[in-house]
Amino acid sequence: MLSIARLTFMEVFRKRIFLVTLLLSVLFILLYGVALDFVSEELRTQSMRGSQLILQQIIGSQLLGAGLYFSSFLLALLAIMGSVGAIASELENGLLHAVVSKPIPRREIVLGKFLGYGSMLAVYALVLYTAVLVLNQYYSPAVLSLLTAGGLISGALVFILQPLVLLGVALVFSTLLRTLAAGIISVILYGLGMIGGFLEQVGSAIANASLINIGIATSLVMPSDALFRKMLTFVTGNEANPLSSLSLGPFGVNVPPSNAMLVYTCLYIAACVCLAVYSFERKDL
């Protein structure tokens, strides 16, 4: 299993999707840094008595949320497009038949691929997470004034969970369907999670129980957006921030998910891996 995980980890670096995501990430970080530089310079030159702190809090929170949100999007792109062919594509081109014919339990193949892709995604997530926070600390330190060591570590762990959820889903469909179909369904589920999270935030803002329930139900199907909101809560110290209501918006958090969502997500990932193993072991090759 560890050998398959190591080979999978190395194989990812040779895939075009990794190179594309890497280039997009570098471009994003450069543009994001330039945007933060312009915004911080503009805020420094403005003399808005009494309202400058509030304005900095609003703009800083939105920019921090936007940076982490688009980082999550890049990770989702890499998690789905990189792993959706982990089983299906290798079966289609015959590579996996050579592995299956050897005395290697099929569950070790699936687990090895999950560990390989998961390790790569965890490293990539930590790099993006660190880059966004360092840029914000340099240009807009006020928005991270409530960030503690515990919040920093908790935020990083939750940030890593986001691509692992999508990896688990992609592996399940990769054992059930052809590569294209598995990729389309995984992307649709990811989009569903985004829409559900948005509806829940809107529902909380206008106190609409129906929208909140739809959002919660959607998060149970695809918890990626709920994880983003939870991670943002750790990073900004939202629950302890008296100005947290000013950070609402498309990249803000109105009502953060509970810790039970983190437990549910871990069980969700484990269930996806077990289902992928079950499906692959019974697949007629």
The pLDDT, as a whole number, for residue 225 is 87
Comparing C-alpha atoms, which of 193, 211, 194, 210 is closest to residue 202?
211
Domain ranges, ordered by start, for the chain:
1-282
Comparing C-alpha atoms, which of 164, 165, 181, 161 is closest to residue 173?
181
What is this structure's pTM?
Answer: 0.87
Distance CA 161, CA 265 (A): 8
The pLDDT, as a whole number, for residue 115 is 92
Distance CA 228, CA 165 (A): 12
Give the pLDDT means over successive 10-residue stretches in the chain (285 positions). Answer: 78 80 90 88 68 70 87 90 82 75 83 91 93 90 80 92 92 88 90 85 80 87 88 77 57 76 93 92 78
Comparing C-alpha atoms, which of 123, 115, 120, 142 is closest to residue 40?
142
Backbone angles phi, psi at 84, to 5 degrees: -65, -25
